[in-house]
């Protein structure tokens, strides 16, 4: 897609690589403000469980008397999986009123704290004596009202895609219950059982990050709303674009898998805490979401061919959104190379996961706040709560 765009043959966007240097400048400046020593953690859901320096999950986990390290890892997998699947865009209006501080927190950080509070409060557990777990049967019966209560949704505090989020979690619960060999090898069926599966795939204590993504796509693939299929298999966050043509059955297909990759990044730290060395972290791509994508539009690297398209709403499956997301993934690699060159580092010391966190996501949000009163992205996407 990037190659076609550099030939100026894409229908929706022009690419101005001369503007990439200014985007790199902004990412470096934003990273330096948040992490002056450039000791940047990975981009993952765990960052959103920290509020004003208060690491909410660590406080709970460190006070808990775990049976063993694997028990903590399963709980952390439970939390990460459910929280990420609730993490599609919240919309500009929704806020989570944090009981601890009284602050009203929106977007991904608010969703993170709300899902953490639901988890630690036992909202996904089958038994009150063990709140820190997600049980398949409980998920399978999760109602929209349950989710709205935990997310503090009301007429004056609307959350985009609530029905879609609740349905996704019910699908997850049913799938987990149907695969005891994967999700119940050391416990009753729970999403965190995937930890035991991944632990068996580690060789000499090492597990490549792409293996995490492969397992997520293969084991959890059926939960995603059925859109495109290939050979009878639902493809999830995979879309068509007319510019991409091949001679086989994949012609026109653009695989992105944003939430699955966000989850793959978020499962790295529980594995590391357990003692597994996660390798090839740069084997995952950048995330095709609206903050990273917004960075390139707002910095002028990507330019709408039709200026009116910026004011129109676009379906996730539209060629414009697919094109924008695909270019975002490719341009993140270009930008990451530029960041590393400026810092004199390589992909091992400064993997893409750190550049995303430092980084591109925060810089995209910063530009959105500067350009638009509601900090919305520069591309208006109709969301059902399962993609963005």
Nearest-angstrom CA–CA distance, 241 and 327: 12
Lowest mean pLDDT among 72-76, 230-234, 328-332: 230-234
Residue 226 in this model has a pLDDT that exceeds 80: no
Residue 387 in this model has a pLDDT that exceeds 80: no
**Is residue 188 very low, low, confident or very high in pLDDT (cuts 50, 70, 90)?**
very high
Q: What is the reported pLDDT for 141? A: 97
Q: What is the reported pLDDT for 353? A: 94
Q: What is the reported pLDDT for 223? A: 87
Q: What is the reported pLDDT for 47? A: 93
Which residues of 16-63 form beta strands (DSSP E)?
Answer: 50-51, 54-55
Nearest-angstrom CA–CA distance, 97 and 352: 32
Mean pLDDT of 207-211: 97
Nearest-angstrom CA–CA distance, 55 and 292: 25
Q: What is the reported pLDDT for 92? A: 80
Q: What is the reported pLDDT for 385? A: 62
Lowest mean pLDDT among 247-251, 295-299, 383-387: 383-387
Nearest-angstrom CA–CA distance, 299 and 22: 7
Mean pLDDT of 237-252: 95
**Is residue 203 very low, low, confident or very high in pLDDT (cuts 50, 70, 90)?**
very high
Q: How far apart are the first and last CA of the chain?
A: 20
- Cα dihedral across residues 295, 300, 304, 308: positive or negative: positive
Nearest-angstrom CA–CA distance, 358 and 234: 34
Lowest mean pLDDT among 1-10, 45-54, 294-303: 45-54
Q: What is the reported pLDDT for 222? A: 87
Q: What is the reported pLDDT for 388? A: 61
Q: Are 382 and 313 a contacting pair, CB within 8 Å?
A: yes
Helix, strand or coil, per DSSP, at residue 133: coil
Nearest-angstrom CA–CA distance, 177 and 324: 37
Nearest-angstrom CA–CA distance, 191 and 184: 9
Mean pLDDT of 309-338: 97
Q: What is the pLDDT of residues 83-141, one digit of tens each?
A: 998 987 777 889 999 999 999 999 889 999 999 999 999 999 999 899 999 999 999 99
pTM of the predicted model, to two decimals? Answer: 0.92
Q: What is the pLDDT of residues 261-306, one digit of tens each?
A: 999 999 999 999 999 999 999 999 999 999 999 999 999 999 999 9
Mean pLDDT of the chain: 94
Mean pLDDT of 165-183: 96
Q: What is the reported pLDDT for 364? A: 97
- DSSP track, 235-296: -SSEEE-TT---SSTTTTEEE--HHHHHHHHHHHHHHHHHT-EEE-GGGSPPP-SHHHHHHH
């Amino acid at each position: 897609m990037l190659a076609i765009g550099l030939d100026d043959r894409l229908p929706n966007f022009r690419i101005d690589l001369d503007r990439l240097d200014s985007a790199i400048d902004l990412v470096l400046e934003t990273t330096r403000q948040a992490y002056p020593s450039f000791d940047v953690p990975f981009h993952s859901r765990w960052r959103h469980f920290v509020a004003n320096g208060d690491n909410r999950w660590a406080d709970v986990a460190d006070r808990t008397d775990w049976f063993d390290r694997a028990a903590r890892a399963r709980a952390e997998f439970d939390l990460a999986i459910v929280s990420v699947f609730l993490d599609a865009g919240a919309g500009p209006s929704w806020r989570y009123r944090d009981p601890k501080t009284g602050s009203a927190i929106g977007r991904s950080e608010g969703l993170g704290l709300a899902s953490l509070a639901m988890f630690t409060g036992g909202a996904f557990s089958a038994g009150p004596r063990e709140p820190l777990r997600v049980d398949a049967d409980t998920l399978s019966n999760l109602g929209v009202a349950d989710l709205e209560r935990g997310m503090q949704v009301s007429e004056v505090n609307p959350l985009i895609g609530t029905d879609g989020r609740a349905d996704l979690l019910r699908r997850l619960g049913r799938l987990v219950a149907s695969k005891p060999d994967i999700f119940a090898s050391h416990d009753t069926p729970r999403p965190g059982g995937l930890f035991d599966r991944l632990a068996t795939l580690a060789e000499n204590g090492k597990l490549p990050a792409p293996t995490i993504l492969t397992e997520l796509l293969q084991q959890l693939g059926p939960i995603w709303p059925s859109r495109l299929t290939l050979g009878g298999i639902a493809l999830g966050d995979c879309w068509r674009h007319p510019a991409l043509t091949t001679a086989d059955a994949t012609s026109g297909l653009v695989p992105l898998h944003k939430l699955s990759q966000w989850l793959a990044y978020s499962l790295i730290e529980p594995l590391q805490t357990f003692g597994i060395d996660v390798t090839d972290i740069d084997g995952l791509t950048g995330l095709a979401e609206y903050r990273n994508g917004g960075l390139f539009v707002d910095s002028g690297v990507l330019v709408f061919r039709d200026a009116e398209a910026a004011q129109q709403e676009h379906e996730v499956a539209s060629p414009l959104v697919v094109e924008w997301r695909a270019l975002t993934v490719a341009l993140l690699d270009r930008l990451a190379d530029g960041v590393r060159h400026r810092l004199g580092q390589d992909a091992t010391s400064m993997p893409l996961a750190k550049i995303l966190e430092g980084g591109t996501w925060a810089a995209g949000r910063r530009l959105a706040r500067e350009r638009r009163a509601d900090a919305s992205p520069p591309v208006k996407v109709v969301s059902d709560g399962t993609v963005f």
